[in-house]
Structure 1
Amino acid sequence: MQEEELQALLDKLTTLPAIEKREPNMFSIGARGHYENPVSDVLAFFLWPEAEHGLGNRVLEALLSCLPQGQALDASLVCAPEREASTEKGNRIDMLLESDEWVLVLENKIRHQQNNPFEDYQDHLKTEAAYRHKDFYYVVLSPEGKAPAGWHGIAYKALLTALSECLGKAFITGPVNKWLVLLREFILHLESLMMKSAIPETTERFVLENLDQIQEMLNLKNNVIKSVQEEGLRYLENHFADQGYEISTRLNHWYGYPALRYAFSHWVSASDVVLYLNATPGETFDVRTYACNLTSEALREEAKACLNHETYEAPWNEGQGKIIGFQVLIDQKNVDKHALFAEIARQMAVLDDFELTKRGE
């Protein structure tokens, strides 16, 4: 890729709409909450007024409020919502709600396809002796609120609005508990499922249309970082040639940015010196020393005394106090690689003195 092409691609990148940031929730982190069954299970739990959540019939009222004249219905149930209720033909109803006065079939459609045997569901209620003299309600809960003839469609947006109002009242009238937090997480998860992609269409189209150049740019970036890492290793090998030290190096990525790690092979601890090329806006490159395996307070104090040079920023602790970090910030503008390598060498020499003379005492 020519430099002009690279610059043009970077210029275009800066004009693209930003990707929407969405709040994660417990259902979206490693869970299978996007499937209909888990969503229905959680919804059924909150719809049962006698369940442990302590919200009473608030969630049931929220659901009924989405139906025509639903607020006039008695918001109580004679038993817990029945999940996967079987019909005579062997079909399964997502959820069956029964009160003294009415029976409600609820089909939950997280995705848009609606190919269920809806007529069989209706026949099941009509032929069930226990449901005689009760009113029947057939409801499809879906992203857009669509439903077949004879059924009432509830859009998830309408239900989420009602649930949010329910949650707000619960926060005001009672103490915060884990069930309120869980309901809020559930609402956030459903909102995220119903939303369009967080990536703007313009941004998506740009990436798809320029995949080859973007991949070429990524390859270029990786090759440059690898080259800098190897050049740093050669510099250090020459710098410490008289000592005959063997030097090891590793490449990590912290928050997407490269961290080039260097250490002497004779160190018995995991201590090392790291060049962190942090290009996050508002941040800067730095060279940092990690003194590791500090197993006693005396060794921690020795590390502080030996390593805490006046050029360092304030040190910090990691690993429950068994690691101390020191860093020197580096101006990213007009970065001199040899100055970076010289700073790495300086910190390695100081750390080497600690590792050889202090750790064994």
Structure 2
Amino acid sequence: MIYEKYRKLLEESKPMIQQKPEKTIFSVGARGYYENPTTDLLAFFMNPQEEHGFKTLILESFIECIKLPLGNLETLRKPRREVLTANQKRLDLVLETDSWVMAIENKIYHHQNNPFAEYESHIKKNHSDKEAVFVVLSPEGKAPPEGKAPAIWRAVSYENLINTINTRLDVYLTSNPSTKWVVFLKDFLLNLAQITVKTKMDNEAFKFIEKNYLDVTNLFKLRNEYIETVQAQAVAQLKDLDGWSSVSTKIDEWGTGPAIRLYYNRSVSESNITINLNNDTKDQGHRIIVYVYHKDRQSVKSSDTFIEKNHHNKDTESGTIRYYSSKNRYTSFKDLLPELRETAQAMHNFLNQQNQPTSGV
């Protein structure tokens, strides 16, 4: 059967559905996945002269990942960012000691189509007396494709770097106190780990959708048909109730899933009952939310006695709008229907008693 095929497809897709990641100070700032801030922080932690106190711990970890016996770390100059070549191309990060120089390109999501040969030429021309090392740092740890860069470019994955730093950090903490910089470093590493997972899953999901595009499209159509059916059945449940003979509806897409709005006589009020077909993994189950529009701010709390006691929690108010979220969660739409009817009747009783027009936005 076709539905068995879809069921297997859904099972196959489950590992690619990402859970909400733990917040970091970088993701809160909404720039956690940008290359420039990430490279700035990497340069900061790699610099033994900075106030973090880790000395060469992060630098040694990076060198361990590229498997080269590089010395003279104590002579490292201040890391340089966005180094310009003769053709005004920007090299992400350059490290330099008395005996070697290292060019690092940090690639998070971009394809590796940088002018690698130009970077190499720039480094060798300006540092001809030193050993030159070229590294691409990326979530996957892949070297530039053949033809895009000389074979001398080494590859380091975020995962390898994270694990190497953490191993050395554990040793460091046995003889050093935990400071704010330890917290910041751990948060930085967590952010890199989340980039790694996101990139890996994004790539896998892309391949999965591409392979099963027609079936996924049909599944999406089925999903929309389900939402429309729920909408029609909800309207049918309200038609015989007082005040709900002329129900109008609207479907919104929320972050927690589709929201089906059922309006109580829009010629009188924008008040509505909303069914949220909830897909939030931390708050699973469909729920009912009630929006009551009031004439003015003075009357905004008057609906509490009717709605709040009807299995709902008062959430907040916004201007003249009061809204209430159901305490209950339902895995089946049919199980939700008795509460829907009871809530609709409570809304009618309140608005009928008020007998005053209200308008919404």
Q: Which TM class, normalised by the smaller chain length?
A: 0.5 to 0.7
Q: Is the alpha carbon distance of 1:251 and 1:17 closer, same or farther for their aligned partners in structure 2, counting shifts above 3 Å? A: closer
Which amino acid is the alignment partner of residue 175 of structure 1?
Answer: T
Q: With structure 2 as the length reference, what TM-score do the two structures score?
A: 0.68
Q: With structure 1 as the length reference, what TM-score do the two structures score?
A: 0.68
Unaligned stretches of 5+ residues in structure 2: none
Which of 176, 179, 184 is equivalent to 2:180? 176
Q: Which residue of 2 aligns with 1:105?
A: 102
**Does residue 1:256 correspond to 2:257, yes or no?**
yes
Contact 1:84 1:95 in 2 (8 A): yes
Structure 1 distance, partners of 2:226, 2:155, is: 54
Matches within 5 A, 1:24-103: 26=26, 31=31, 33=33, 35=35, 39-51=38-50, 53=52, 55-66=54-65, 67-70=67-70, 72-78=71-77, 80-86=78-84, 93-99=91-97, 101-103=98-100
Deviations 1:239-266 (A, max 9, x none): 44xx698654322234124433323325
Q: Is the alpha carbon distance of 1:307 and 1:57 closer, same or farther for their aligned partners in structure 2, counting shifts above 3 Å? A: same
Structure 1 distance, partners of 2:51, 2:350, is: 57
- Give how far 1:124 is off: 1.7
* SS of equivalent to 1:249: strand
Unaligned stretches of 5+ residues in structure 1: 127-131
Q: Which residue of 2 aligns with 1:139?
A: 134
Matches within 5 A, 1:202-221: 204-205=207-208, 207-221=209-223
Contact 1:140 1:154 in 2 (8 A): yes
**Does residue 1:196 correspond to 2:206, yes or no?**
no
Contact 2:81 2:94 in 1 (8 A): yes
Q: Is the alpha carbon distance of 1:214 and 1:297 closer, same or farther for their aligned partners in structure 2, counting shifts above 3 Å? A: same
- Give how far 1:313 is off: 3.0
Matches within 5 A, 1:349-360: 349-353=348-352, 355-356=354-355
Q: Percent identity?
A: 16
Contact 2:134 2:154 in 1 (8 A): yes
* SS of equivalent to 2:73: coil
Q: Which residue of 2 aligns with 1:129?
A: none
Structure 1 distance, partners of 2:354, 2:75, is: 71
Contact 1:160 1:191 in 2 (8 A): no
Report the count of equivalent residues.
Answer: 334
Which amino acid is the alignment partner of residue 185 of structure 2?
Answer: L
Which amino acid is the alignment partner of residue 43 of structure 1?
Answer: L
Q: Is the alpha carbon distance of 1:137 and 1:186 closer, same or farther for their aligned partners in structure 2, counting shifts above 3 Å? A: farther
Q: Which residue of 1 aligns with 2:162?
A: 160
